[in-house]
Amino acid sequence: MATHTITFDPTSGVAYGANLVINTGSTFTDSFTVKTTSGSAFNFDGWTGSSQMAKSVSIGSSMYAAATFNVGFTSAVEGKFNLSLGSTATRSLSEGRYVYDVLVSSGSTVYRLASGNALVISGISSAP
């Protein structure tokens, strides 16, 4: 499990770039800690999150999500959350490069918090 620390400035309108590595057939979890520009924790109390990955970015409604991550706030007041996929979900992924993003929202406020590439890797070796 990788850990990412994000310094997030909501006024910038720019998502934090973080790349993910997902092994097919295994449970995937990456953890994120979000800080404000002053260094304090970004308080997610009352916020919700969503995240998807796809083979490519497309304009309009024609994008096909290859997977939808679970976004779990592990400590909302400390700005901590996890992205996760179960082994059944990762098993159905084809290896290759995907793109993903994480959205967080509270009421009508929505931020694109993180985005990047997700590299899906299949095993190449077999047991002796």
pLDDT tens readout for residues 45-82: 999 999 999 987 665 555 678 999 999 999 999 999 99
**All structural domains of the chain with their residue ranges:** 3-120
CA neighbor of 99 nearest in space, from 60, 63, 49, 47: 63
| β pairing state of 109-121 and 16-17 | parallel
The whole-model pTM stands at 0.87
Rounded Cα–Cα distance for residues 90 and 39 (Å): 34
Classified by CATH at the fold level, domain 3-120 comes out as Immunoglobulin-like (2.60.40)
Burial of 107 from C-beta contacts in 10 A (0-12 / 13-18 / 19+): exposed
